[in-house]
Structure 1
Amino acid sequence: MRSMLVSEAVSEEAAIGFPPEVSEFRRLDWPVISGNDETVGQASAEIDPMEMVSLASEFLQGLGIAVIAVLLCERAARLTMTSLQRNLLVSVMFSIGTIGPDLLAAPSSSGFSFDIGNVFVVLAMTYGGWITLTVTTAVAVLGRLWLGGAAVASSVLAVLICSAIGLAFAQMVKGRRVSIPALAGVGLLASVSLISVFLLPREIAMETLGEVASIAIVANVVAAVVIGRILELQRSHFGTPRLKEAPLGTTDTATGLLNRRVFDKLGPELAAAMNWAGQPYSMALIDIDEFDQVVEAHGHAAGEQTLRHVASVVQSAVRQTDMVASFGGQAIALVLPAYDAERAFGLAERIQSAVADTPFHLDGIEIPLTVSVGLHTPLPRKESFWIALGQADTALNRAKSTGGNRLEVAV
């Protein structure tokens, strides 16, 4: 019955004068609907159980390739290399994730290629930045062109739509942790790329949407959550273990914080990790106001107690993943991963309030303490760690020169 329908459809197309490429596409890939056979029309709108098994198998195969690519990203993140080298290597891994499922997946009987590779295009900006987005999008487009087929134009358009969605998503979640609902949402948005099928003849486009739209939407959501969650866990983990593993002898005896040598070594590494992850970070320098007067009035031992008190207050206000280090004298340095300017400003205000509101007693006398803060949020991949540190120092000097107990942001 099906062969007769195909034969009749081919003859009909030849008589009507469909372009050869459209006729070939319809003949090889798509179920034929006979306008005179209502039963066949209804059957063609449904997916055969074996087709469902084939699509599910293809989805799992593609997801497996994607997870392997993500795990390779983690390996790359732990190598000792420059930020640019790491970005390029991560771009390669994302490219494998976006084109790998297409290269290895077997086409379904309907000709539909079950493609979750575009999820990597959507997530590239959020987890890799501009370089990864550009490389992944380019590889995805070239891959679709190389694979060819009657639907090549719609496939390329789908990639470009996903790239635009990914760019907008990265701006929305910038400086924040990406939640599972957010990942599910961007997976759902990625399904907007299905409109690209309307570059095909209308009848074929409608058949395509009717057959695979619901399955593709579910697959995009599941893939975005699985891949994004793994990347999110890696991003939150990367850059912090070195702080927890600091060996003995790396702390400052006066404050109990990391010493300046450790700060100079690990600070740039933490900043590079944020640049690799496409996340902002902020730096703050904190200085105790009128510290010299406390030392002159109560002695050096009292000065050390003051330092320890302020250091304890600061540490209690930040996260375990933030770097808190002695910066020399009565200054404390902070490196705040995944903090944009607004969040960093709020934290600095809370630290100032905590220092002022936490009583400090010395020989039975309550000593009022305040701190000045210089704050800077570097432009992503535009400023080196040391330039950013200099900006924070300049802001601190400005805060001190205007009377202390102030918070200044570098301009």
Structure 2
Amino acid sequence: MGALDESDVREIRSIRLPRWGRVVEAGGEEVVAWQVLDPDGRVVEPIEVFLRDFTAQGNRAGSVRSYAYALLRWWRWLAAVGVEWDRAGSGEVRDFVLWLGQARKPRRVERTVSASSAGAMNPVTGKRHLDDSYGPRTVRHSNAVLRSFYQYWIDVDVGKGPLVNPVVLARADRRANAHHNPLEPFRAEGRLRYNPKLPKRRARAIPEQRWDELFAALRSDRDRAITAMAVSCAGRAQELLGLRAVDVDWGEQRIRVLRKGSGAVQWLPVSPESLVWLRLYLTGLGDPLAPQDPLWWTLRRRNDAGPGAGSRRPLTYEALRAVFRRVNALLGSNYSMHDLRHTAALRMVGDDRMSLRDVQTILGHAHASTTADVYLVADEEEVLARARQHLVDRERAVPVAPAPPVAPGYAAADLAVLFGEGAGR
């Protein structure tokens, strides 16, 4: 099957992506941290060249990995519809977006315990359980990756690679802001044509009682230390997992993190409670840490080097997720480390001594609008409570008009029996 025009139609629901290729972590000698291999184990050259340029622009390994998986999914789609990568058009992108909208993510292991709750609302946290569908953010990220990939090849390989970018803009037929109203602010234009709309993001704080329950369900000083640290400094999971022993300033009660995305080094204040739990955890490790050693380690030793030569391993993101899976199973919740970041941010926003600029700095947001859009959105339950109180106060404040005097010839007692108390006043 060849490339289609926009007017052509594919049977989207009947398409199944093949298990074509894979993403692997490159060896230490490779410049690019992640590679996409074809079914024969060979590097996919167009992707490799693009990721090399992407890495040279200063993007971190995590971003390279994300782009690699997005491009692998696109290559699988092209294999399913029988189109070469440099012959794909906007019809392929359109159908790919439609396919993502109804497809399910492949899973190595089928859901068992979580099969009944996937996509449902959790009654404890008020959050939806994750399901296996591709969300709007995933689709938008995929479109952004593909547009960047094709634009790179159009710029560097004029006349040999793709002639046009298949990921088209929604308003490519006119100049941006060509009909701008001078009474209104300028807005960004050039939205990708097939980008789905994003739902309004809404941060939720863990209520104090729920937080106490979560903290009590933790089973080790290490887990108490890292969660208490997260809920006090609003650090991301990967930022906290990247801490080394030298990154803890005990005297100033702060930690030094490497910010996600920008890679900037930043000191963040942490609570005295978190440092108490951290000291208890480090004491329990036994062996003192060298300054450059990772701060967080597994609690159990592994005998990989033979009997009696057990050693601990640095705590990974998956191991930290397992901590929350155990807690959620006990509490019937679906908390994550990111909920602790939201909780810390909303606590700061609610403190009159901290400005929006202060909160933005602690969170590491590049723009204050990001902080405001997420953390200054009023909670619906709080709004409803204030509205109910407003109605109660208003009813109490409305004066009761005095009853008119009883007309001559009528007995006040008789009117009170007929119409209630106060009718004869």
Query: Hey, which of these two has a bigger chunk of helix by percent?
Result: 1
Q: TM-score, normalised by structure 2?
A: 0.21
